[in-house]
Amino acid sequence: MEQLQVFDENKKLLNEAVARDKKLQLPDGKYFMIILVFIENHQHQYLIQKTSAERDSVYATTGGHVTYGDTGKVTAQKELKEELGIDISLEELEYIDTLKYPKAYCEIYYVSKEIDLEKIQLQEEEVEKVEWMTEEEIEQLIQNKKFRKGNIEPFQKVKKAHNS
């Protein structure tokens, strides 16, 4: 079972791990972390994936859990490589904000980059397809309840930070 990094109430990395299937049983004051990465091209389109049937077939951005010993930024870099085959340097990842939930933190990252969709290598267990979408197209998915609920507030924060 995957071991997740544990953080304290101030988002300080602790020398502790929790099994992924036990993450919601963390005691008060201890948290696991997820990350979300939004990639925007120069046409102001976002790289959005449709998750596989095993992952509810919804539209979402790239994301994942921070495993033991990693930081949010390193996890963002790893998830882009694992899910889409995209190499991003740590310097390209712009930290946007952190959301705090009862048992988890969600770190939000942004990347401005041109990506050739033909060169993307999908992790088929997790991702069915990817496409570039405008803000309006994403807003339509949100209206139709086809965009992952947990990605909506982070998307709004990225939009606000970049006024696109």
CB 14, CB 7: distance < 8 Å: yes
Helix crossing, 135-143 with 149-162: angle to 10°? Answer: 150
Tell me the per-residue pLDDT of 121-142, one tens digit each, with 9 for 90 and over: 988 888 899 999 999 999 999 9
Tell me the per-residue pLDDT of 80-124, one tens digit each, with 9 for 90 and over: 999 999 999 999 999 999 999 999 999 999 999 999 999 999 888
At residue 164, does pLDDT exceed 80? no
Structural domain spans, the chain: 3-150
Upper half-sphere CA count for residue 162 (Cβ side, 13 Å)? 24
- CA nearest neighbour of 17 among 28, 7, 25: 7
Which are the contacts of 143, defined by CB distance < 8 A and separation ≥ 6?
none
Q: Please state, in angstroms and rounded to a whole number, the distance separating the CA atoms of residues 86 and 9.
A: 32
Question: Among residues of the chain, what percentage have pLDDT more than 90?
Answer: 88
Tell me the per-residue pLDDT of 36-57, one tens digit each, with 9 for 90 and over: 999 999 999 999 999 888 878 8
Look at the block and give the residue holding tokens 């041109």.
114
Tell me the per-residue pLDDT of 62-71, one tens digit each, with 9 for 90 and over: 999 999 999 9
Domain 3-150 architecture:
Alpha-Beta Complex (3.90)
